[in-house]
Amino acid sequence: METKTSSTLGVGILGAGPVTQAIHLPTLSRLRDVFHVAKIMDVDPAIAESVAGRVGAAWTTSMEDLLADERVQIVVVCSPHQFHAQQVIAACRAGKQAVLCEKPFAMSQAEAEQIAAVSQETGVPIIVGAMHTFDPGWLAAKEHWGDLVETTHTIRYSIVLPPNPRFEDFATEVITRPESPRQDRRDPDVAAGMVRGGIMGLAIHDLPLVRAFCPDFTDLEVLSCQVPDPSGYLLNLRVGERNVQVFGINTQSWEPEWTFEAISNTASLRIDFTPSYVQAGSATATISRGGKSEVYGPYLANGYESEWRYLADLARGKAAPVDVTGLIHDLTFALEIADTASAAVRATTSTKEASL
Amino acid sequence: MTQQLTVLSSPEADAGGGVPQVISSLPVSLHPTDGAGSDLVAVAGTPGWTEKALESIEAGARGVMVIRPSAADVTALRDRAEASGVPVVLDTEWAHNPAVAAAAPRFAAVNDENSLLEARVNAPVGVDVDQVLLAQLALIRAAVDPVVSLSHARRNRHGYDALAHLASGARASLSAILSDALPSSATLRIIKPRDAVTLAVPASETAAPGRVTVSGPDGATLLPTQWESAHRAAWRRLHALAEAGEACEDLSSFAADVAIVTGGRPEAAGGRG
């Protein structure tokens, strides 16, 4: 049973699927001195009741009911992507202290601009659950990479992703999971859907990191796009003057890999992230230049924990809000890549293979 | 019993291929000489190397080692070498690392038309990009399969990204990143739904081992490491070929790879630079 006191912040969660069960509740259990879960909403009453019961929270099937509850001070949006914008806006209008929205925080630029306007009008701060942007390994690298943002010419971002349940099951006991049927990547529509879904569902995690190294992020060209077997994406991009490769593959393997690299003529940054879901500490960042390498991390806290601690500071007015314009730019960048790459794959996928 | 063969080298070949260091590490098999009539000749792969190699064969060399060959028309040299049964071994940056041969049967098990080979090399700023690509193609040929078609998605002073097909029908993504921050190295990887094979190869002058990792449902295995430089392994091969009086296919393979490099250039394919 969660301890509920007036000194901790009440959290309301919209959507009680695997992300809530395996990420946010375990993270919040590490931060009991700061938060308590006040209420959980899910359209499926059995799931809402069961998940809420784990933490001694109230439950509901109604977003309006959760937002009207004064015990809820912070709202977390973990619903399917298409509901994110409307729920974030509703939470702002309900006068909550802060909103955490799982990525992507909208599915179009218009939605993102609406959110920004409402956030500004209501003064409710919003953060997006791009946990790697809060990862202590990334933040340490940021402090020490010097002029790498200006001098980087090549960026590599690669994810080898085993099935999520391998990690969810170490984080919690999940009671419901979405179905993910095997699809034929040689079908043009399927290939296009895989690429778009892969970018907006997986690559989007670290596209803000990529954008941080691409000052001319609106000058974007998809040079090639392929769909690896059985699913994923392999993109070569030109972003301004930067050469960017974004790779993700879904496997049945046990062996995860999640890396980000930024390379200039004289320096390189490599970050190895820990898998999602598990509380396995931070990323490890390595900066190499002049024959020397500096290693930062791993630190005990991961990006999830850091993101929640920041959220607490935001709610209590101890931290400056995230620039919503930056969040919009992150989203616009991801959408542009997703739309262009998926259209290219649809146009060029033959019955033999999915490639541009 | 191993036959000791004499080696004639040049300062350029010594600089590019560490020839004196290799000879000193194979003292029973090789012996340096400054005079004419040497058994083996080391030629630097700078422009004009095919003529020098041809001259060496005509002067009676039993074998020729070309250090880091640049793109060239090898037709006349290949014909002469084949006719005289002289092996001409091409010492490209990575292909001779002993880990490559160890990786080959592992890659063969995962190389099919549904596979995607990821190939990346790190090379110093300012190198000849064609030469880097040729060395990468030689590595892929030795470890996995020949590249049969290639088109550049991007090529500039910082490197390249290219899409390719292997003889098996597998697709490949080839990249080169030019930076002085990273040691010269190459990696190859094929990830299948349940299995994966990864090869990481260091620069040719180091005896630091290449690493072959084979992953599957039961875990990952690092194959036994072999602490021999690619240069030394190339010379052992040349010695064995010359001793047996056997020619080799290096020049024919190189000719095919040169055609791939030339045909894959952005200006040739009308692609983006």
Tens of pLDDT along B138-189? 999 999 999 999 999 999 999 999 999 999 999 999 999 999 999 999 999 9
CATH 3.30.360.10 in chain B: give the residue spans. Answer: 98-228+262-269
The interface predicted TM-score of the complex, written ipTM, equals 0.92
If you average pLDDT over residues B231-249, what whole number do you get?
A: 97
Query: How many Cα atoms are found within 13 Å in the side-chain-facing hemisphere of B94?
Result: 33
Mark yes or no for CB contact A236/B215 under 8 Å.
no
Calpha distance A203→B229 (Å, rounded): 38
Q: Give, in order, the Cα–Cα distances in Å from A266 to each of A124, A145, A239, B178, B180.
A: 43, 12, 20, 10, 5
DSSP-assigned letter for residue A21: I
Whether B269 has its CB under 8 Å from any CB of chain A: the answer is: no
What are the beta bridge partners of residue A154? A243, A263
User: Residue B183's CB: how many other CB atoms inside 10 A?
Assistant: 15
CB contact under 8 A, A224 and B196: no
Q: Give the distance, in angstroms, between the CA of residue A241 and the centroid of all CA atoms in the same chain.
A: 26
- Enumerate the residues of chain B whose CB falls inside 8 A of the CB of residue A267: 181
User: How far lies A169's CA from each of A23, A26, A54, A172, in Å?
Assistant: 11, 12, 16, 5
Q: Given this model, what pLDDT does residue B146 score?
A: 97
**Domain at B5-93+230-250: CATH code:** 3.40.50
Say yes or no to pLDDT of A275 above 60. Answer: yes
pLDDT-wise least confident of A34-43, A241-250, B260-269: B260-269
**Could you give all domains of chain A from N- to C-terminal order, each with its CATH number?**
9-128 (3.40.50.720), 133-302+320-348 (3.30.360.10)
Mean pLDDT of chain B: 95
User: Cβ contacts of residue A317 below 8 Å, gap of 6+?
Assistant: none
Element (H, E) at A328: helix A324-348
Round to whole Å and give the CA distance between B32 and A348: 57
In this prediction, residue B272 carries a pLDDT of 39
Mean predicted confidence (pLDDT) in B76-91: 97
Cβ atoms of A258 and A273 closer than 8 Å: yes
The whole-number pLDDT of residue B85 equals 95
CA distances from A24 to A15, A101, A223, A300, B54 (A): 11, 12, 37, 17, 70
Q: What are the tens digits of pLDDT across the range B39-53?
A: 999 999 999 999 999
> Which residue in the set B158, B173, B181 is minimally distant from A243, CB to CB?
B158
Position A34 scores a pLDDT of 92
- Cβ–Cβ gap A255/B175 under 8 Å: no
Mutate to test the interface with A, among B180, B190, B218 (most CBs of A within 10 A): B180
Q: Quick one: which of B76, B36, B38, B35 has its CA closest to B54? A: B76
Would you say B172 and B166 are in contact if contact means Cβ atoms under 8 Å apart? yes
* Residue among B182, B191, B215 minimizing CB distance to A249: B191
Residue B269: predicted pLDDT: 45
CB within 8 Å: A267 and B194: no
Q: Which of residues 126-185 of B touch A (CB under 8 A)?
A: 153-154, 156, 158-159, 161, 163, 171, 173, 175, 177-182
Q: A238 and B175: CB-CB below 8 Å?
A: no
Please tell me whether residue B173 adopts helix, strand or coil conformation. Answer: strand
The tens digit of pLDDT for each residue in A126-148 reads 999 889 999 999 999 999 999 99
- Look at A275-279, A291-295, B135-139, B254-258 and tell me which has the smallest mean pLDDT: A275-279
Q: Is B221 on the interface with A (CB under 8 A)?
A: no
Q: What is the pLDDT of residue B268?
A: 53
Pick B159's closest partner by Cβ from A154, A160, A238. A154
Q: Where are the beta strands (DSSP E) in A240-302?
A: 242-250, 257-263, 267-272, 284-289, 292-296
Indicate yes or no: CB of A252 within 8 angstroms of CB of B178: no
Distance to chain B for A136, nearest Cα, Å? 24
How many residues are recorded in chain B?
273
Any idea what the Cα angle at residue B44 is, between residues B88 and B137, rounded to 5°?
A: 65
Q: How far apart are CA B3 and CA B30, in angstroms?
A: 8
In this structure, is the dihedral angle defined by the CA atoms of residues B155, B159, B162 and B166, taken in order, positive or negative? positive
Whether A234 and B178 lie within 8 Å, measured CB to CB: no
Query: Which of A294 and A276 is assigned the larger pLDDT?
Result: A294
CA B109 to chain centre: 22
The answer to whether residue A327 scores a pLDDT higher than 60 is yes
User: B98-228+262-269, what's its fold?
Assistant: Dihydrodipicolinate Reductase; domain 2 (3.30.360)
Evaluate if residue A1 carries a pLDDT over 90.
no
Q: Tell me the nearest-neighbour CA distance from B143 into chain A, angstroms.
A: 21
Burial class (CB in 10 A: 0-12, 13-18, 19+), B80: middle
Could you tell me which residues of chain A have a Cβ less than 8 Å from any Cβ in chain B?
Answer: 153-154, 156, 160, 221, 223-224, 226, 228-230, 234, 236, 238, 243, 245, 247, 249, 251-255, 263-268, 288-289, 353, 355
Distance from C-alpha of B61 to C-alpha of B177, rounded to nearest angstrom: 38
Chain A residue numbers with beta carbons less than 8 Å from the beta carbon of B173 are: 226, 234, 236, 245
**Banded pLDDT at B115 (limits 50, 70, 90):** very high
Give tens-digit pLDDT for B255-273: 999 999 988 666 554 433 3
Which backbone phi and psi does A296 adopt, to 5 degrees? -120, 125
- Gap between the terminal Cα atoms of chain A: 54
Residue B161 near residue B153 (C-beta atoms within 8 A): yes
How many whole angstroms separate alpha carbon A214 and alpha carbon A220?
10
Quick one: what percent of chain A has pLDDT higher than 70?
95
CA angle in degrees (0–180, nearest 5) for A317-A320-A326:
140
Does A308 score more than 70 pLDDT?
yes
Q: State whether A224 and B161 contact (CB < 8 Å).
A: yes
Burial level of B207, CB count in 10 A (0-12/13-18/19+)? middle
SS3 content of chain A, % helix, strand, coil (to 5): 40, 25, 35
CB contact under 8 A, B178 and A265: yes
Q: Do strands A267-272 and A74-77 pair parallel, antiparallel, or not at all (unpaired)?
A: unpaired
Per-residue pLDDT at A355: 46
Q: Which chain B residues are closer than 8 Å to A252 by Cβ?
A: 193-194
Total Cβ atoms within 10 A of residue A193: 17
Chain B partners of A160 at a C-beta cutoff of 8 Å? Answer: 191, 196
Q: In chain B, which residues fall in CATH 3.40.50?
A: 5-93+230-250
Look at residue A242 and give its three-state secondary structure.
strand
The two three-digit tokens of residue B221, written as one number:
């295995």
Average pLDDT over residues A176-181: 70
Find the CB nearest B193 among A230, A234, A266: A230
Contact between chains at B153 and A251 (C-beta distance less than 8 A): no
Q: Mutate which of A249, A352, A356 to disrupt the B interface (most B C-beta within 10 Å)?
A: A249
Question: Residue for token digits 């056997």?
Answer: B246
Q: Is B24 exposed, middle or buried (0-12, 13-18, 19+ CB in 10 A)?
A: exposed
Residues 6+ apart with CB under 8 A from A318: none
CA pair distance A134, A312, nearest whole angstrom: 13
